[in-house]
Amino acid sequence: MQDQSRIQRGDMDAFFGLFLNNLINILLVTNLCLFVLHFSTELVFERVLPGLALGMLIGNLWFYLEARKLAKANPGTRVCALPYGVNLLPIFLFTFYVMYPAQQFALAQGMDAGAANEMAWLAGIIGCVLSGAVELLSAVVAPWIRKNLPPAATLTALAAIGLLFIGADYFTRSYHYPLVGIPVLFLMIYLYAGKVRLRFGIPAGLIILLLGVGLAWGSHWLGLGGPVASMTIVSFEPGLYLPQFSLTDLSVLNQVWSRMDVLIPIALFSTLGSLVVVEAARASGDNFSMRGALTVNGVGSIAAGVFGSPYPTTLYVGHVAWKAIGAGPSYSIMSGIAVALLSFTGSFAVVAQVIPIEAGMAILVWVGVSVCGQAISDVDRRYAPAVALGLMPGVAAFSATLMLRTLTGAGMGTESEPLTAEFMTGLANSNIFTTGIFALEKGWMMTSLLVTAIAVASIDRQFKTVIVWLTGAALLALIGISHKFEVLSNDVVSRLGPAWDWVFGYAITIAAIALVHFVLREKSTDTP
């Protein structure tokens, strides 16, 4: 058996695969921070990315050392480290459901753009720390959560995120730039869906990325348009940018607290996903500590947030695949070191100038549809109606996002053309029921979890469980974690406080179901 303290060929192959995955995600972070949130280059490359790299490095180092420890305890057995990095789902959710609302609220309060960006970033890093703290707590209660929460509930919310917020968004962008997007998209489908293996162990993702970069720049040089023309020049000098302690202002804590409807599900998804990853590793013979892995998830996210990153870190799926190609402990720490070097030197600013996000967005489409496909396929077919119902809040949330993008793109949400509650409500005359759309959008992940859980319990004819979940939905509406919203001049934002119409709606539902159960139900329907 080869010495696992040395880097093997399998480590090199797995390193490139994991690094490429993290590279695409970090390019996405850069793109969203610079061009959606309009953060300064100094904030992105001096604070956000170094903090993110530190959180990743902590996780990569721990799993490298843990894999070495397991290898020493089991001589003659190859132990593969668990992959660790930044996940696509929290990137989108923290951008659009934590930082963007905080930024719009600040602008509506009269702050200038610089101060609003600072508030958005602070909201993000505090949210990242709180998310990590919830993950630490969930390391203790995770087995109970997994036992009592129907798998269909968590998987359905994940399916909605994958299909709509990642897959659909970037699929349409592929057709917006057809000379680049279509070839890259269908090459991705051919390679990934067909599981095509390339000669010399070349990763499929590398070929996809190279084609995307080549087509993007080629179409630009030939004057055919494309994504390069819309890229903004990033003026930033590489240098030494070590992580800096950033948790110095807690004034936006109230804004972050109002986003617990996002932070709790993110932490829950991360925890449950990590459980699956560790269990899969155990099934392949690598007996990592469940509690240790979940604890590192939380510690990595807290460290990332404290040192400037608004994005939490987490375990990745893929351990089994990397182990199958001969990877050992080293590939994970190699990826962590590579990301840290690029981040601590500001080199990602150079990479972002060469690789437009459209060059690799087909990979993001595949991640999105894979998340959706796996989530749906893992659910018992009896619960298919529950999954369909659970997708509805996600559809409403995606519709709300598109609606606000359209309105702001048309010039509304400005000082001269502010959004108003009367205007939004009046859209119902055109069969656009904005009250229902935004009520579902606020806290939609929690609503998706609860709707699916209620439907699953109904299919199984578990009356008490149905009532418990409905009571939970009423309590969330009472607190304002779900359904409570306010129309500002430039956005529609969450607000803590009772959403009374929905609280009473759930209360009436509980009474109606209890009446049917105890008075009108035939006893022969006690079992499904």
Task: State the Cα–Cα distance between residues 187 and 313, nearest whole angstrom.
Answer: 29
Task: State the Cα–Cα distance between residues 93 and 382, nearest whole angstrom.
Answer: 30
Helix (H, G, I), strand (E, B) or coil at 487: strand
CB burial of residue 12 (10 Å; 0-12, 13-18, 19+): middle
Task: State the Cα–Cα distance between residues 387 and 374, nearest whole angstrom.
Answer: 13
* Higher pLDDT among residues 214 and 428, named by residue: 214
Check pLDDT > 60 for residue 233.
yes
Show the tokens assigned to 335.
Answer: 């990826």
Place of tokens 């469940």: 290
pLDDT digit string (tens) for 98-120? 898 888 888 888 888 888 899 89
Show the tokens assigned to 162.
Answer: 């994958």
pLDDT grade for 1, boundaries at 50, 70 and 90: very low
The per-residue DSSP string of 274-324 comes to HHHHHHHHHHTT----HHHHHHHHHHHHHHHHHTT-SS--EE-S-HHHHHH
> What does the DSSP 8-state code read for residue 4?
T
Check pLDDT > 60 for residue 4.
no
Count the residues in the chain. Answer: 528
328 in the Ramachandran plot: left (φ > 0), alpha (ψ -120 to 50) or beta? Answer: beta
Helix (H, G, I), strand (E, B) or coil at 485: strand
| The pLDDT of residue 320 | 67
Q: Residue 212: phi, psi to the nearest 5?
A: -60, -45
89: Cα separation from own chain's centroid: 1
Task: State the Cα–Cα distance between residues 267 and 298, nearest whole angstrom.
Answer: 9
Percent of the chain surpassing pLDDT 70 = 90
Check pLDDT > 90 for residue 89.
no
The per-residue DSSP string of 170-192 comes to HHHHHHHSHHHHHHHHHHHIIII
Residue 421's Cβ-side half-sphere holds a number of Cα atoms within 13 Å equal to: 5
Check pLDDT > 80 for residue 261.
no
Task: State the Cα–Cα distance between residues 210 and 227, nearest whole angstrom.
Answer: 15
pLDDT digit string (tens) for 263-318? 776 776 677 667 767 776 777 788 888 788 888 989 999 999 999 999 999 887 66
214: Cα separation from own chain's centroid: 29
Residues 6 or more apart in contact with residue 47 via CB below 8 angstroms: 121, 244, 246, 308, 309
What is the pairing mode between strands 485-487 and 84-85? Answer: unpaired
pLDDT digit string (tens) for 5-51? 677 766 776 787 778 778 888 988 998 999 889 999 999 999 999 99
Closest alpha carbon to 120 in 139, 140, 142, 101: 101
Q: Give all strands (DSSP E) within 30-139, no chain letters.
A: 84-85
- The residue-averaged pLDDT of 452-475 equals 94
Q: What single letter denotes the amino acid at residue 119?
A: M
Check pLDDT > 70 for residue 64.
yes
CB burial of residue 450 (10 Å; 0-12, 13-18, 19+): buried
- The residue-averaged pLDDT of 471-487 equals 90
Show the tokens assigned to 43.
Answer: 């904030």
Helix (H, G, I), strand (E, B) or coil at 411: coil
> What does the DSSP 8-state code read for residue 99?
I
167: Cα separation from own chain's centroid: 12
pLDDT digit string (tens) for 391-424? 999 899 899 888 888 888 888 877 778 888 888 8
CB burial of residue 197 (10 Å; 0-12, 13-18, 19+): exposed
Which segment, 181-190, 300-309, 354-363, is predicted with the most confidence on average? Answer: 300-309
Exposure class string for 118-133: b at 16+ Cβ within 10 A, else e: bbbbbbbbbbbbbbbb
Task: State the Cα–Cα distance between residues 343 and 336, nearest whole angstrom.
Answer: 10
When the pLDDT of each residue in the chain is averaged and rounded to a whole number, the result is: 84
| The pLDDT of residue 3 | 54
* Higher pLDDT among residues 244 and 493, named by residue: 244
Show the tokens assigned to 349.
Answer: 């600013």
Closest alpha carbon to 278 in 326, 328, 330, 318: 318
Closest alpha carbon to 26 in 307, 317, 351, 271: 351
